[in-house]
């Protein structure tokens, strides 16, 4: 699957973001190695801290459907009612959670649009990460 198609799916997933507090809407699309794509959006909460990021929504959907290996993730985010002017990078918690299932070489596609992307590996975003191998 092309990066632009994954970005397109992340942009569509962002439409479902539930963000009555921040109004910052995020969408993610996670490509599993078996070809399935799992999308997610951020889901906020009146007590704030249970809020779930788009990336983890996508990852939890995927893992709960049996996917364990992933090829790429696309992430988009910008404020409701505005235009996208910057890349939305995964937060530290999402980087850590992705590291649980994805190797350091997995591309993270941060996008302002289908054409305008910043691609970094998970290892670049989370260098010297602590993962499952550390517990062996």
The residue among 34, 43, 36 whose CA lies nearest residue 13 is: 43
E strands, 33-126, in order: 37-41, 70-79, 107-111, 117-121
Closer residue to ligand THU in complex, CB, 49/134 = 49
**Does 11 contact ligand THU by CB under 6 A?**
no
| Piece of the chain touching ligand THU by CB under 6 A; list 19-27, 29-37, 97-105, 122-130 | 19-27
DSSP label of 133: G
Rounded (to 5) percent helix, strand, coil in the chain? 30, 25, 45
Count residues binding ligand THU (CB under 6 A): 13
Q: Which is nearer to ligand THU, 85 or 134 (CB)?
A: 85
Nearest approach, Cβ of residue 66 and ligand THU (Å): 24
55 in catalytic set: yes
The one catalytic residue among 5, 15, 55, 100: 55
Is 24 among the residues that bind ligand THU (CB under 6 A)?
yes
CA 99, 43, 91 angle in degrees (round to 5)? Answer: 35
């Amino acid at each position: 699957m092309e990066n632009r198609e994954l970005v397109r799916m992340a942009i569509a997933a962002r439409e479902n973001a539930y963000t009555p507090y921040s109004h910052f809407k995020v969408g993610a699309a996670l490509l599993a190695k078996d070809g399935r794509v799992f999308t997610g959006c951020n889901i906020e909460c009146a007590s704030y801290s249970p809020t779930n990021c788009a990336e983890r929504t996508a990852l939890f959907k995927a893992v709960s459907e049996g996917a364990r290996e992933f090829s790429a993730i696309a992430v988009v985010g910008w404020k409701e009612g505005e235009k996208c002017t910057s890349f939305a990078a995964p937060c530290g918690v999402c980087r850590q959670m992705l590291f649980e299932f994805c190797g350091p070489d997995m591309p993270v596609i941060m996008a302002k649009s289908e054409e305008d992307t910043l691609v970094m590996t998970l290892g670049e975003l989370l260098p010297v990460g602590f993962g499952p191998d550390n517990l062996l």
